[in-house]
Structure 1
């Protein structure tokens, strides 16, 4: 009898030291796997343990390395709305229930991406109510997958409307992974290696290390990004966007990863109504430059979505999510959809007036309110700008100011509280533009 206790204790210690198979939280019940891409399933277990993964008729095995890490790769999966089980077996067995295959997107940024549907206006909440219990729209939030239920009300409104539009247009399940931090600058999202390569002064990759890396190497289709308010006034925001794109392309093994950005909304950063172009010259300029120069990057304007320049969090998130979805539908899925409003083409002088021409006009120029376009300005030297009258004439806008009889520069919407009204007849707003020389 005296030998039984030591034996029991020894057995107990042995069992407690055994390392069960453990999966990361992203691989859990209700998850949506990315279709058409190699899918990596990974986790930890006892050193040297053999692990078997079974899903959708595939059986893959791996042996853990010296650190107890393992991963297997599943061949590209076809989209499916039929719930399936993913089984992982080692010394123990894990069954992940209700797994769908469709489209998976990372939704990241700061508070305007994090803001939930609860803060949306009534008509947007009504859209959610109509979709409540839709089994094909799911979110990964705070370490777990949640279904389209009351729980989703606290998830990103922008990401929800983005995912809903994709689900409706593609007829497949869509999941969105929310990694957003209120008040954060862009720098904490950037991997340290890209910080160093870009020479970014502000260091630290806390969000990348603690929130992005735990979902790597998940297969995703791309990223929607709504951030920049906390970087207004930064002189290196363009380099930061480049570094973010390069870093996430590297860690997700996805060259030129799609990165669809939201142009930060107009806001009175002076909080005193003092005219300023700090946001425009720093963040907007960087966003538009990145959309032109960085492969995979795009930007959508939102200044026409019922903006209140005294509130940094615009309430109307549905048009934001749907415009991001349009960009993804065109670029990633090859759909014939409109993804941009009028874009500045050139400016020519005719006596004391400036004729501004636009490209990318769909069905003609108009304004949101039916009145003459607002927020056009003229300058004789490119430094001091004055407000000017503007009139739509065909595919051009005629700009004039008695205060600038010999205009040399024109710009539209290039100050922090600007809410231009020019748009095309399809409903997309014209892109704002900085000072342009008049020919």
Structure 2
């Protein structure tokens, strides 16, 4: 068992780790570790479901016992006794999963509430519980406990903070097996895979460990944080100081009294660079007058402003209604019922562009809604530049550095017995796809070793489609990263949920998280629970060349292959000796797909859905699960 760091070994009082607390879920059907700290040599008794377990704290004050043959059920109380006693209440026994990765695993139900309104209301599941691991990083020694956190049951009052992927996965497992399900979410937006791996496991990656070295110096970290904070604060202070919209004239530019007759016009949504503002860093003000009918007054209203690059402050009729400080979250601002008025109303948005790529993202909703009525906000707006400055100095995301999140957030979990791990990550490694398979293998082995569960099921999400669709076949780092994820199925005890049809071209955080969670649950039912079910879409197996055609064979064809929209297959490409890929015709023949292009007489290779955003890709099996992207030319 791990020794001290967070325990305070000189403290002789009985202490439990954060995870062993009220409302916890314990893993059924296996030996479950219960551990903690007490005075050196002190006897410890654990009483649970009519049994008594005994241990003695070692010279470091550490103790542990193992619960055997737990059956699903509860709630129970657990009594831990030494010189003092602790009662842990409302304990359930069922299934426990760790959910880790970056922002798409972290993304909460709050962000998908408009996508799944019924699920936000009908979420009273006292036997589904989550534990949110707060951000903490460390570079020298793995932590043995968490600084904060508690178990929460799913309910309308708590659901907004649950990981959406984690919740929909847990609900699917709960409803299938009718047992309690707990999930521990340890995920941080933007984190690369190497931040979740221990230093010892990264010994084969000297270039990664070289990046780690400076962060072992606490003084260096303080210097970086201080420097970054000073530079950022100075940039924003300078922007505000020179923003004419805040400092010139009798009224600020969000005021109702401002005269916009001299402002220019821009049709929104739009990229600034396409409107004569290429490379602009600074503040740009946008205003729009709208006519609000009486039937929208004195009702809850919401302002939808799509996504804005990079940050915004938004006002209605001169009153501040909300702000988002970075580009990814959708802008959805609730408007007080008494703020709108009959007739003319003004909406003002101060956009801060800090890296020269200002934009109102297209393909997102821009509207005002109230009482079931909608006012479209796309089209002509007035705009005026308030300030121009240099780019925002790049910040150092210390938590993204190698080993940081493993030591701070994951290591404290590894004594807690779990069924398996869910992983949704990869976006932050797309610039380095060639190393991803090796790092994935290293991480899985690392986790299994630290959990002392050599067969720990590891279920992961393949990256969805994202970005502008290409007109012609092209190279793609996102496709290469997906290929590395596909290769990870070579590792025993793994399974993958394909999500190539669940992305959004204009959002790295697509909303269809229910589909992701449910596909992960299908994969877990097969890999972790041993069900003989169709849990995956078609996976490339082999190819055969005959004349000017290539026949593709697949694993996981299920009840048969089909085109997802009932039309012809799309996004197959084929190449000959010149290695120049061209769009191909493709047809399902039995359990295979035949691919050709009449202009290529001697084909050599096929690619399917090989792009950042292969939005037309539509090969699925009869069970409705999409085929994984693949290429035969490597």
Fold shared per TM-score above 0.5: yes
- 1:408 has 2:604 as partner: yes
2:202 aligned counterpart, secondary structure: helix
The root-mean-square deviation of aligned C-alpha atoms, in Å, is 2.2
- 1:297 has 2:489 as partner: no
Cα distance in 2 between the residues matched to 1:324 and 1:115: 16
Q: How does 1:30-429 map to 2 (within 5 A)?
A: 30-80=23-73, 82-120=74-112, 122=114, 124-130=116-122, 132-142=123-133, 143-149=149-155, 150-197=157-204, 201-202=208-209, 203=212, 204-234=402-432, 235-268=434-467, 275-281=474-480, 283-292=481-490, 294-305=491-502, 307-381=503-577, 383-419=579-615, 420-429=617-626
Q: 1:274 to 1:311 in 2, by over 3 A?
A: farther
Who is 1:5 aligned against?
none
Offset at 1:126?
A: 1.6
Across the two proteins, how many residue pairs are aligned to each other?
A: 416
1:405 aligned counterpart, secondary structure: coil
Offset at 1:266?
A: 2.0
1:345 aligned counterpart, secondary structure: strand
1:201 aligned counterpart, secondary structure: helix
| Contact residue 172 and residue 518 of structure 2 kept, 8 A | yes
Deviations along 1:400-438, one digit per CA (max 9) or x if unpaired, are 22442321111111222113101111101112111359x
Q: 1:253 to 1:361 in 2, by over 3 A?
A: same
Cα distance in 2 between the residues matched to 1:218 and 1:410: 45
Offset at 1:72?
A: 1.6
Offset at 1:93?
A: 1.4
Q: 1:119 to 1:243 in 2, by over 3 A?
A: same
Q: 1:277 to 1:301 in 2, by over 3 A?
A: same
Greater mean deviation of Cα atoms: 342-351 or 52-61: 342-351
Greater mean deviation of Cα atoms: 388-397 or 28-37: 388-397
Who is 2:229 aligned against?
none
Aligned structure 1 segments of 4 or more residues deviating by more than 6 angstroms? 269-274
Greater mean deviation of Cα atoms: 264-273 or 253-262: 264-273
Cα distance in 2 between the residues matched to 1:310 and 1:213: 35
| Contact residue 559 and residue 623 of structure 2 kept, 8 A | yes
Cα distance in 2 between the residues matched to 1:71 and 1:358: 48
User: Which sections of structure 2, spanning at least 5 residues, go unmatched?
Assistant: 1-9, 134-148, 213-401
1:361 aligned counterpart, secondary structure: coil
Offset at 1:129?
A: 2.4
Q: What TM-score do you get using the length of structure 2 for normalisation?
A: 0.63
Q: What TM-score do you get using the length of structure 1 for normalisation?
A: 0.89
| Contact residue 32 and residue 416 of structure 2 kept, 8 A | yes
Cα distance in 2 between the residues matched to 1:361 and 1:230: 31
| Contact residue 483 and residue 629 of structure 2 kept, 8 A | no
Cα distance in 2 between the residues matched to 1:274 and 1:116: 35
Who is 2:262 aligned against?
none
User: Which sections of structure 1, spanning at least 5 residues, go unmatched?
Assistant: 1-16
Who is 2:14 aligned against?
21
Q: 1:189 to 1:415 in 2, by over 3 A?
A: same
Cα distance in 1 between the residues matched to 2:544 and 2:31: 52
Cα distance in 1 between the residues matched to 2:11 and 2:431: 53
Offset at 1:390?
A: 1.9
1:280 aligned counterpart, secondary structure: helix
Greater mean deviation of Cα atoms: 261-270 or 18-27: 261-270
Q: 1:350 to 1:215 in 2, by over 3 A?
A: closer
Offset at 1:265?
A: 1.3
Cα distance in 1 between the residues matched to 2:483 and 2:628: 12
